[in-house]
Amino acid sequence: MNIKRISLAIPFFGVALMLVQSLAFSADQKPAFGDCVLSNAKPTQHFQTKVPGVLTIAGPIASSPTGYRGSNPSNINGGDLYCLTAEIAYRGGLTSVKIVNLPWDALISGNNKDFDFTVMNVAITPERQKVMDFSIPYRTVNPVVVVKGNKVLTESQLKTAKVGIIIGAKRYENFLKDTVGVTAIQQFDTNADMLHALMAGFIDAAFSDSTGLMPAVARSNGAMKVIARYDIGTSLGVMFPKGSPNVALVDSILNDMKADGTLAEIERKWLLPVLGGDPVALPVWGK
């Protein structure tokens, strides 16, 4: 098995590493979170945060331009993950959010505890649960296969192709190795790094969640295409430093958001339009 880690320098990461969104509001006034539209739910409980009154979230924000919409972390004003975070913060009675740009491998290592939680479409896996805590799933996604727009790659050819995955995606790595039979896997810090490598010819295919890859493909003007999905159902959750006191409250908020339709509305408004197509309509490999 030849598994390599490749890190490509992306100019985007030269931006400021921290963003503080001010959310001052009174009892009869909702906080302002860019273009996010908050629900009419009222805060009933309050988070215990690292900094009183401030929710600190962390992650490789630049790697999710549709989840956190903005040209850089200083002007984020929308996106499905940002608006999900905004709603959770609001229902948790907080008045501000600080977003810290943290590399993916540092985020999932369990060694950094200087944040309250992260909403970065992190897959809930047994390996990660050993070092981090997770909420109940807020979304279930499947991985897709992305190639160059002029590339022909069949299901049988995937096993001999050079396939890229994200660092820490152990479940996908094991699936590609043990089930598909892929022998050349390369790991990348972010989806953006991986897709740059794809276009540069370092890999033949990119393999990651539909929500992570499809928006970039939709913006590529045909330079890339999604050719298939695998129905292996990955659950995504809010991730916390181990021992966080906020897991139960986030679980309660997510359950309420599912019940009152807020979660579905955030996906309808912010996620589905940027995917460029319905993942359900893709050919299914591995049947």
pLDDT in tens, 240-270: 999 999 999 999 999 999 999 999 999 999 9
Q: Which residue has the higher pLDDT, 44 or 191?
A: 191
Residues 6+ apart with CB under 8 A from 229: 142, 143, 144, 145, 210, 279, 282, 283, 284, 285
Q: Is the pLDDT of residue 25 over 50?
A: no
Of all residues in the chain, the percent with pLDDT exceeding 70 is: 89
Distance CA 243, CA 232 (A): 29
Are 134 and 235 in contact, with CB atoms under 8 Å apart?
no
Residues 87 and 256: beta-carbon distance below 8 Å: no
Say which DSSP state 35 is in: T
Q: For position 4, what pLDDT does the model report? A: 55
Look at residues 175, 213, 217 and name the one whose alpha carbon lies nearest to residue 191. 213
Which amino acid is it at 162? K
Q: What are the two backbone dihedrals, phi and then psi, of residue 171, each rounded to the nearest 5 degrees?
A: -65, -40
Coil vs helix vs strand at 238? strand
Answer whether residue 11 shows pLDDT above 70. no
pLDDT for residue 280 is more than 70? yes
Q: What are the C-alpha distances in Å from 59 to residues 15, 83, 93?
A: 14, 15, 22
Show Cβ contacts of residue 83 under 8 Å, excluding neighbours closer than 6 positions: 33, 36, 37, 266, 269, 270
Q: Are 164 and 188 in contact (CB under 8 A)?
A: yes
39-48, 158-167, 193-202, 249-258, range with the lowest pLDDT: 39-48
pLDDT of residue 13: 34
In the chain, the N- to C-terminal Cα span, in Å, equals 24
pLDDT of residue 239: 98
CA distances from 68 to 3, 11, 82, 85 (A): 30, 17, 5, 10
Confidence of residue 168 (pLDDT cuts 50, 70, 90): confident
Give ∠ CA 220-159-150 in degrees, rounded to 5. Answer: 30
In order, the DSSP letters of 168-191 are T-HHHHHIIIIII---EEEEESSH
User: Rounded to the nearest 5 degrees, what angle is found at the Cα of 73, between the Cα atoms of 10 and 6?
Assistant: 25
Structure confidence at residue 224 as a pLDDT band (50, 70, 90): very high
Nearest to 128 by CA among 168, 167, 164: 168
Lowest mean pLDDT across 2-11, 86-95, 232-241, 258-267? 2-11
> What confidence score (pLDDT) does residue 105 get?
87
Look at residue 32 in the predicted model and tell me its pLDDT. 78
- Of the pLDDT bands very low, low, confident and very high (cuts 50, 70, 90), residue 5 is low
pLDDT band at 47 (very low <50, low <70, confident <90, very high): very high
pTM, two decimals, is 0.77
**Cα–Cα distance measured from residue 25 to residue 32, given in angstroms and rounded to the nearest whole number:** 8
Mean pLDDT of the chain: 88
- Per-residue confidence (pLDDT) for residue 96, from 0 to 100: 80
* Radius of gyration, alpha carbons of the chain: 19
Of 71 and 142, the one with more pLDDT: 142
